[in-house]
A and B are shown apart, each in its own frame.
Chain A
Amino acid sequence: MTIDRDELINLLVEKTGMNRVEVEKQLDELISRIMDAANRGKALEIKGFGLFYFDEGGELTFRASDQLDSEINFTHAGMEPIEVKPPKSAASTPPKELPVEKDEEDTLPVKKDDADKPVKQEDTADIDDVYGIGKTLASQSDDDDEESEQSEPFGKLFQEEPAEVKPEPKPKEKISKAGTAPAKKDGSDTEAKKKTAAKSRDPMSVIIVVVLAGVFLFAAYFVFTEFLDPPEQPEMSQQQDIELEDPPATAERDVTEATEPEEPQPDQVPAPENEPEPLNDPIDEVTTTDPYGLYGEIAETDGDVFTIVVHSLRDRDIAEQTADELRADGFRINVTERIVDGQTYFRVGIGQFPSISEAQQEATTLPDPYNNQNFIHRLQ
């Protein structure tokens, strides 16, 4: 709706209480004063309303006062710019620089303000206060500009608005283009930091894992060996006996068989001629006075004496028990004590022979598994 001259006069009559003629006269005078001042290249200010002047393009221009601006903009009062993306550097420019920057999105009023500025600077000194009701806007307007931009306490109102208006596409693209570079930079920085952090963690974690694995393996080995030690029982398998026997045998040879270590050990000694069945006829052996052989009692002999060791145990009692069992079968049993690698072993030997070869030959005649799992040991 447009308020024309008649309607304006009616409204002025209502507001001022003056009669219509007087109002018309005052209105005409106001118009003539504005035109007169503008034509003289000066500006006419109506305090609390605005400034009339001719701009550089020769157009009559009106610049609203801050008071009028704020009253017209009462629905958006207190809204202030919100920072969407922080500045590149820590030292950010204050928002009051906004009007200075020319942007494509600026609409007509803003352009108008920009156009006004140089004129204002030129004319403020020559402002013609025709009606004595105003003063120069120069200082006032500058102060008001800063104040209106800095003191806008109703930020919440603005936060409710975003859905209302969408930003124009061009600035958005500009912003996105300009904004992506630093954003990516930041992202890459953080990724790089993460990578370097991961790299720096890797060696440490590897070292920790290796150390833990080593400790675990050592503990497992310790526990495993602790569980293996007890099996020096009579019920243990012959294989285990042999495993225990092997080291002492070599160690023993170093000590006791130094004189004849070169003696070959035949792998497969042919079975001797029909030996008398030892188990069936032990009494005959016992009655014989021959100090050598598988069966009989331990007898004193001169010279070298070898025996076939079939058990090597750590426990003396078990060794003695095993010896008794074999002795019950008629075998010539001896139990000797040996220290190998700091550990004491009790060896259960069968028979006594004048030479290693004879002992080896007789070992093949032993019942299974002794015929395969044994070694020759020098008694004296």
Chain B
Amino acid sequence: MEPQFIKGFIRVVKEQVALDNRVHIDGIGQFQKTHQTQTQKRLEDGSVVLMPPKDSIEFKPDISQENDDR
């Protein structure tokens, strides 16, 4: 594996996901961005905190071990 390719792959996926594009890799799955809205949480000590919104990367696999076993 060429390190140059790995760096390029990471860069491309990051950029495209950040642009709200879904990156689909055949045989593996799809990368996409998800947005979590602001929420409130109650902690065990009784305090309530306001959780900020968050964008994160989500991976939806195309395959699973069960399918492979079959």
Which A positions have Cβ atoms within 8 angstroms of B?
1-5, 8, 11-12, 15-18, 22-23, 26-27, 29-31, 33-35, 38-39, 46, 48-50, 52, 54, 57-62, 64, 68-69, 71-76, 79-89, 91-93, 95, 97-98, 101, 103, 105, 107-110, 112, 130-131, 133, 158, 161-162, 164-168, 171-172, 174-175, 178-179, 182
Contacts and interface: CB of A to CB of B under 8 A. Distances in A.
Contacts, number: 236
Interface of B: 1-14, 16-18, 20-31, 33-34, 36-59, 61-66, 68
A48 B8 contact: no
B49 to A, nearest CB: 4
24 contacts: A18-B4, A30-B1, A31-B26, A49-B13, A59-B61, A60-B61, A62-B59, A64-B59, A74-B55, A76-B54, A81-B49, A83-B47, A85-B47, A89-B46, A91-B45, A97-B43, A101-B43, A105-B39, A130-B1, A165-B39, A167-B40, A168-B39, A178-B46, A179-B48
A112 B48 CA distance: 23
A285 to B, nearest CB: 111
A175 B42 contact: yes
Given A105-B39, A108-B58, 9 more contacts: A15-B11, A30-B5, A58-B64, A76-B55, A81-B50, A92-B43, A93-B43, A109-B36, A167-B40
B49 A84 contact: yes
A267 to B, nearest CB: 91
Contact of A16 (B8, B25, B33, B53): B8
B34 A133 contact: no
Contacts of A167: 38-40, 50
A164 B50 CA distance: 13
Nearest to A131: B1
B6 to A, nearest CB: 6
Nearest to A12: B8
Contacts of A83: 47-50
Contacts of A91: 45
Contacts of B9: 12, 26-27, 30, 46, 49
A30 B37 CA distance: 34
B10 to A, nearest CB: 5
